Structure 1
Amino acid sequence: MECKINYAKLAIYGITQNTETMEYLMVFQYANNGSLSKYLRNNFCNLTWQTKLEILKNISNELDNIHRYANYIHADFH
């Protein structure tokens, strides 16, 4: 996702494993404008509640798609 108002979806390229922690990680398409958490940290006060809810809705829809159609299981999203 490029952290812009259009909230483009990121492609999931696959899954990898951290060799030190053995934690599994999802590999996503590069996001030119940085992570969503950084974007929200820097812009939270400038976003309307409608926009914040739209972002949350999009995230929940994509998580639903991961569970329903891709059969991926996740633990944490940071």
Structure 2
Amino acid sequence: MIDYSPFWDTLEKSTENWYTLTNKYHLSHSTLHRLKHNQNISTRTINDLCRILDCQVEDVMQYIPSDTDQPL
């Protein structure tokens, strides 16, 4: 499972917030909702978040093994 909790920590440490992400950088509310609920987002969005927050991918997401992952 991909977990986006590192994103929220990174966002808290940055000068950006939910408001600036949506109004200044035009990220949709649904994208932030998806992040909050560990739902799928595009790699383009991950790229944008890394650029906005000046961070690395691991500052936005992490992989956590889970029994609920789809079978391979």
* Band the TM-score falls in, shorter-chain normalisation: 0.3 to 0.5
TM-score (norm 1): 0.32
Name whichever structure is richer in helix by fraction.
Answer: 2
**Rg larger for:** 1
Name whichever structure is richer in strand by fraction.
Answer: 1
TM-score (norm 2): 0.33
Answer 1 or 2: higher relative contact order, Cα 8 Å, separation at least 6: 2
